[in-house]
């Protein structure tokens, strides 16, 4: 049940202001968390959600405003200070020790001792008790690494409860979970809520926000837009408040995506029987100039494996690739770049941005790779290119000297897109370019892809969101179980039809 608004809040943040060099990250933001309530914090990437959480958990000092916990003004100099006040956080990437046992992770730093020595039997008994409170029955002596991400999330929550937390912050906890695992997590969240814990929930999944939340606070551009009861805030109103504009223009994308593409001539890229043993069964794919080809399939279907073979990031052991009718040696990304192909990996942090470099340095990396390091880019040329793409893609903050690692996920993705567009590619491969970013940044990227394809750029587009594939692609290649099972014209199929094809087409036959 939602919290009684007459009950004194456990946390009140008032007028919170945080400044970074050249950036006002939070501008007099308020947040109220009540016991026995799930409170969602919503906003675009870059809206200030993470900064507000870090102010509450002692990661960032505040430049203005007050934080009150159970009626007492607090100043947190560290995360340990916040934990001592009863505030715990479970992050998207679980901060546990996979080499230790489940019980050791639950009780880490709070192990029962006997005569100054850790009592391991008592430690595991206590861990089991805390896990049982979350309806989790697992062997506390088993290595944490053997368990699923969902179980690790629950272990992290259990550790927070060892600290007798009054506030539990869940930062994108469901991003790597399937539906059954989400249901299990939400059961635990509701139980904690009913026990009087204040839950702060952060997620990009609107359906989940409306399923689990009692109240929503919306931020935009570092400022408070408003606090609302879920029952009083329709979804379209929430999206409008988050991005500051209506999303009706996304409907026009579907109409432009279904424009005719001339396939009478030669494909820009043609793959025949390309595959890799144990990774992808041999598959064919054509991409024509100005065409967006979507790759649809579930996780593990072979979408990423296919584009990595096309780009030379992984080496195919069968088949070949032709570019503009000529057989192309594609055994490394260097060969693909020479053929004016660009590839934005789904692993934005591991294979995309260089977090310690600036926006400008990240954007020009692709151009420099094309030219080779013996031909450095002139400063005037660099500045012109960077300014052009910061403006064209709406990178925020519009500061070329900002460190990319400090930007939101959506703005990091825009910097990656800028890097490859600056190389003037003929074919752009985008693998999950909108995963984990807010609806406003998604809209910006989708519009840019549609605009560029209309100007003649060929695009291979991968997304787990089938609606996004249908919206952008003229043609969809469907993969299942590491093989291509067929192709569909996006103008002749709706979402239900695509899902049905994905589930049932091509069973028992080769593609």
What are the pLDDT digits (tens) for 327-369? 999 989 989 989 999 999 888 777 888 999 999 999 999 898 8
Residue 296 has phi, psi (to 5 degrees) of: -115, 140
Residue 39, pLDDT above cutoff 80: yes
Query: Interhelix angle for 149-162 vs 120-133, to 10°?
Result: 110
Using pLDDT thresholds of 50, 70 and 90, give the confidence band for residue 436.
low
> If you count them, how many residues does the chain have?
511
**What is the per-residue pLDDT for 257?**
56
Collapsing DSSP to helix, strand or coil, 422 comes out as: coil
**What is the per-residue pLDDT for 511?**
41
CB atoms closer than 10 angstroms to residue 424:
12
* Residue carrying structure tokens 């990996």: 345
Q: What are the boundaries of each domain within the chain?
A: 11-243, 247-340+426-441+458-511, 351-424
Burial 381-415, CB ≥16 within 10 A → b, else e: ebeebbeebbeebbbbbebbebbbeebbbbbbbbb
Percent of the chain with pLDDT over 90: 50
CATH code for residues 247-340+426-441+458-511: 3.40.50.300
The single-letter DSSP state of residue 135 is T
Burial 44-67, CB ≥16 within 10 A → b, else e: bbbbbbbbbbbbbbbebebeebeb
**What is the per-residue pLDDT for 254?**
55
**What is the per-residue pLDDT for 5?**
60
Contact between 482 and 280 under an 8 Å Cβ cutoff? The reply is yes
Burial 152-178, CB ≥16 within 10 A → b, else e: bbbbbbbbbbbeebbbbbbbbbbebbe
What tens digit of pLDDT does each residue of 180-223 get?
888 888 988 999 999 999 999 998 778 889 999 999 999 988 89
The first and second tokens of residue 510, run together, are: 């080769």
Residue 398, pLDDT above cutoff 60: yes
Name the fold adopted by 11-243.
Rossmann fold (3.40.50)
**What is the per-residue pLDDT for 66?**
96
pTM of the model: 0.58
Taking the CA atoms of the chain, what radius of gyration do you get in angstroms? Answer: 25
What tens digit of pLDDT does each residue of 124-162 get?
999 998 888 888 888 999 998 888 877 888 888 888 888
- Helix (H) or strand (E) holding 500, with range, is helix 495-504
SS (H, E, C) 114-173: ECCEECHHHHHHHHHHHHHHCCCCCCCCCEHHHCCHHHHHHHHHHHHHHCCCCEEEEECC
Contact between 306 and 295 under an 8 Å Cβ cutoff? The reply is yes
* Residue carrying structure tokens 């007798």: 164
Residue 329 has phi, psi (to 5 degrees) of: -75, 115
SS (H, E, C) 294-330: EEECCCCCCHHHHHHHHHCCCCCCEEEEEECCEEECC
> 11-243 and 247-340+426-441+458-511: same fold?
yes
Give the dihedral of Cα atoms 404, 407, 413, 419; nearest 10 deg: -30
Residue 37, pLDDT above cutoff 90: yes
Percent of the chain with pLDDT over 70: 92
Residue 64 has phi, psi (to 5 degrees) of: -165, 155
Using pLDDT thresholds of 50, 70 and 90, give the confidence band for residue 258.
low
Using pLDDT thresholds of 50, 70 and 90, give the confidence band for residue 248.
low
């Amino acid at each position: 049940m939602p919290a009684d608004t007459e009950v004194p809040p456990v946390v009140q943040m008032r007028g919170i202001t945080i400044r970074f060099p050249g950036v006002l990250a939070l501008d007099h933001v308020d947040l109220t968390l009540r016991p026995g309530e799930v409170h969602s914090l919503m906003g675009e990437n870059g809206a200030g959600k993470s900064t507000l959480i870090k102010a509450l958990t002692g990661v960032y000092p505040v430049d203005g405003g007050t934080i009150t916990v159970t009626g007492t003004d607090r100043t947190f100099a560290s995360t340990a200070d916040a934990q001592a006040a009863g505030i715990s956080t479970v992050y998207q990437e679980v901060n546990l020790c996979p080499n230790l046992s489940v019980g050791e992770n639950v009780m880490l730093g709070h192990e029962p001792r006997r005569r100054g020595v850790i009592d391991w039997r008592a430690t595991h008994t206590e861990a089991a008790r805390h896990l049982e409170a979350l309806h989790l029955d697992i062997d506390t002596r088993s290595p944490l690494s053997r368990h699923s991400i969902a179980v690790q999330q629950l272990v992290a929550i259990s550790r927070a409860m060892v600290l007798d937390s009054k506030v539990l912050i869940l930062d994108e906890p469901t991003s790597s979970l399937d539906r059954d695992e989400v249901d299990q997590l939400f059961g635990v969240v509701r139980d904690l809520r009913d026990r009087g814990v204040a839950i702060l929930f952060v997620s990009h999944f609107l359906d989940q926000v409306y399923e689990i939340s009692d109240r929503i606070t919306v931020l935009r551009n570092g400022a408070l837009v408003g606090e609302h009861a879920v029952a009083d805030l329709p979804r379209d109103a929430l999206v409008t408040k988050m991005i500051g504009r209506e999303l009706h223009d996304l409907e026009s994308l579907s109409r432009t995506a279904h424009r005719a593409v001339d396939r009478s001539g030669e494909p820009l890229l043609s793959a025949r029987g390309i595959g890799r043993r144990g990774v992808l069964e041999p598959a064919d794919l054509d991409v024509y100039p100005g065409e967006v080809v979507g790759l649809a399939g579930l996780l593990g279907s072979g979408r990423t494996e296919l584009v990595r073979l096309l780009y030379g990031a992984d080496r195919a052991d069968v088949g070949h690739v032709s570019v503009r009718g000529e057989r192309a040696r594609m055994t490394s990304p260097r060969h693909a770049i020479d053929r004016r192909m660009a590839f934005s990996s789904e692993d934005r942090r591991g294979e995309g941005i260089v977090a310690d470099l600036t926006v400008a340095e990240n954007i020009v990396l692709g151009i420099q790779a094309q030219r080779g390091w013996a031909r450095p880019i002139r400063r005037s040329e660099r500045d012109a290119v960077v300014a052009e793409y910061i403006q064209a893609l709406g990178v925020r903050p519009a500061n070329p000297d900002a460190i990319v690692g400090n930007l939101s996920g959506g703005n990091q993705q825009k910097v990656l897109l800028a890097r490859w567009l600056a190389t003037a590619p003929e074919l752009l491969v985008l693998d999950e370019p909108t995963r984990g970013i807010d609806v406003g940044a998604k809209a910006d990227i989708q519009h840019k892809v549609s605009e560029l394809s209309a100007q003649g750029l060929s695009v291979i587009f991968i997304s787990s969101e089938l609606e996004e594939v249908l919206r952008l692609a003229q043609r969809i290649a469907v993969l299942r179980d590491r093989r291509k099972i067929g192709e569909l014209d996006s103008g002749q199929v709706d979402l239900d039809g695509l899902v049905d094809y994905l589930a049932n087409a091509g069973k028992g036959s080769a593609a």
